[in-house]
Chains A and B, each alone.
Chain A
Amino acid sequence: AQRVTQPEKLLSVFKGAPVELKCNYSYSGSPELFWYVQYSRQRLQLLLRHISRESIKGFTADLNKGETSFHLKKPFAQEEDSAMYYCALKWGSSYKLIFGSGTRLLVRP
């Protein structure tokens, strides 16, 4: 069965420190992976998707099929990055998304 695992419930770092939010998936085919972010009191919004290979707000994520991972990274965290981050998998021809349990990132001043 398809599954997305985010092992960390909370990640706390100081401003300027590097950040890596972990995401592992379970899927036998070719997945499409996403990172969604939810800032305080705001709706869920797309941060980035692996097929775009882009950097958004300084964040990048590389799909590693060998390790079935899609970790989110940023070299220098900012306080405004504090939010809830969800990794999601869209599989096959389905439009359905499977979400991980989320990681709360707290960037301290």
Chain B
Amino acid sequence: GAVVSQHPSRVICKSGTSVKIECRSLDFQATTMFWYRQFPKKSLMLMATSNEGSKATYEQGVEKDKFLINHASLTLSTLTVTSAHPEDSSFYICSAQGRAGGNNEQFFGPGTRLTVL
């Protein structure tokens, strides 16, 4: 099956710094990648949809200047949390969707736990 990786799996940073999270589709080309945020014991909340070569589409209430998304290639999307604050601490999950082939399944990464001190 399709594999999606995320790096790093865990990051701790000081308040005010920026953190970059990578999402890679390892064995398929992902035309669309999604970034989710999951709070403890809560559901996944879609933050943004990222299409290769174009600007990301952010969900209502998500600050695009705070959460910078880049989808430079068909196998890589990055999420940068700028000037991180403790309230940004969360579990960030990406998913990748390949080219249409009758199957629009999203394949999920293992997630990145961000802790901002």
**What residues make up the interface of A, taking CB atoms closer than 8 Å to B?**
42-46, 49, 86, 90, 95-102
Give chain A residues whose Cβ lies under 8 Å from the Cβ of B110.
Answer: 42-43
Cα of A99 to Cα of B46 in the assembled complex, Å? 9
Q: Please count how many residues in chain B sit with their CB below 8 Å of the partner chain's CB atoms.
A: 19
Most buried by A among B34, B105, B106, B109: B106
Out of B43, B46, B93, B111, name the residue touching A96 (CB < 8 Å).
B46
B44 and A86 within 8 A (CB) = yes
Cα of A99 to Cα of B44 in the assembled complex, Å? 6
**What residues make up the interface of B, taking CB atoms closer than 8 Å to A?**
4, 32, 34, 42-46, 49, 93, 95, 97, 104-106, 108-111
Give chain A residues whose Cβ lies under 8 Å from the Cβ of B46.
Answer: 96-98
B34 and A86 within 8 A (CB) = no
Nearest opposing residue in chain A for B5, CB measure: A43
B43 and A44 within 8 A (CB) = no
User: Which 4 pairs across A and B sit closest by C-beta, in order of nearness?
Assistant: A44-B108, A101-B43, A43-B110, A99-B43
Nearest CB of chain A from residue B59's CB, rounded to whole Å: 8
Cα of A33 to Cα of B76 in the assembled complex, Å? 27
Nearest opposing residue in chain B for A38, CB measure: B108
B42 and A101 within 8 A (CB) = yes
Most buried by B among A42, A44, A86, A98: A44
Cα of A100 to Cα of B42 in the assembled complex, Å? 9
Nearest CB of chain B from residue A21's CB, rounded to whole Å: 14
In the assembled complex, 18 residue pairs joining A and B whose CB atoms fall closer than 8 Å, in A order, are A43-B93, A43-B108, A43-B109, A43-B110, A44-B93, A44-B108, A86-B43, A90-B104, A95-B34, A95-B49, A95-B97, A96-B46, A96-B49, A97-B34, A97-B106, A99-B43, A99-B44, A102-B43
